A and B are shown apart, each in its own frame.
Chain A
Amino acid sequence: MKVRVLIMPKRGLLDPEGRAVKEMLTDNGFTVKDVKVGKVVELEVEEGTDIKKLVEGFLINPLVEEYIIE
């Protein structure tokens, strides 16, 4: 079973990486309201694997990150 986990910085937290990308895009003439930079983790796991436990226990820090499973 293939799983894709999208990990993003929590809303409201300063995301300096996103801010830097936004500034670069603005400097290049694009009008961009906001940019957030996160990461994607692709997993190939056995059927029945507790994905929530895997993600929340090992892949993200729930204090500062949120996630979506695709």
Chain B
Amino acid sequence: MKFGVCVFPGSNCDYDTYYVIRDLLNQEVVFLDHETRRIDGLDCVVLPGGFSFGDYLRAGALASRTPLAHAVVDFAHRGGLVLGICNGFQILTELHLLPGALLKNAHLRFVCKDVYLRVENNSIPFTRSYEKGEVIRLPIAHGEGRYYVPEDELRRMEENGQIILRYCDADGNVTEEANPNGSVGNIAGVCNREGNVFGLMPHPERACEDLLGYHDGIILWHSIVNV
């Protein structure tokens, strides 16, 4: 497979993502500059974590108005796989490729820790190597990760299987205590109706090697490659 990693001014997980794809997955990967106008010849585009354009105005707002962001929309509409991690997730909601919005954490603190997540749907290309209902552990690091979507839209998303990951405890129970940011329904990751666009607040690229104490993240990357 051939991957592209988007680079906006302020992206800071671009090299981590590039490293995982090239060195751990052994796949082809290129960086995509924020002025890129057309995406061709790629199978999967990743919007990495960071603070694009300093998160001025709102997280992801300025990045979502760049030529590259428009090219990502076009790529997604042509059926390409698009993965947004953290700031990338925020950009995807600003682009309306994913429903909802990401707001300041309910407790107003930047949160940087490990969380447990329940895989609610493993039928999309990004999660098929997990078991449905499996509990995984990934790190989070964000100040604006409170997922919000109006109630009627949330119901539609649940019916369509668009809720992919929920914050939970170690046993897989979705509790208020396990919710690190006040997200509606403990939601940590959602996809579009077609399942080719996926956004999540946790960082799977930081959980790919035992050296770092993690390996649950690499399964997500394997899912993409094993489509």
> B61 touching A61 by the CB < 8 A rule?
yes
> A13 touching B104 by the CB < 8 A rule?
no
**Selected contact of B106 from candidates A16, A58, A61, A64, CB within 8 Å:** A16
* Interface residue ranges, B against A (CB under 8 Å): 57-58, 61, 65, 94, 100-101, 103-108, 146, 148, 150, 182
> B108 touching A14 by the CB < 8 A rule?
no
- Interface band, chain A: 10 to 19
> B148 touching A17 by the CB < 8 A rule?
no
> B100 touching A17 by the CB < 8 A rule?
no
> A16 touching B101 by the CB < 8 A rule?
no
Complex alpha-carbon distance, A49 and B68, angstroms: 26
With A59-B57, A61-B58, A61-B61 as given contacts, are A16 and B104 in contact (CB-CB < 8 Å)?
yes
User: Which residues in window 14-62 of A have CB below 8 A to B?
Assistant: 14, 16-17, 20, 58-59, 61
**Selected contact of A58 from candidates B65, B101, B104, B108, CB within 8 Å:** B65
A-B contact list, 18 entries, CB within 8 Å = A13-B103, A13-B148, A14-B103, A14-B106, A14-B182, A16-B104, A16-B106, A16-B107, A16-B182, A17-B104, A61-B58, A61-B61, A61-B94, A63-B100, A63-B101, A63-B148, A64-B101, A64-B148
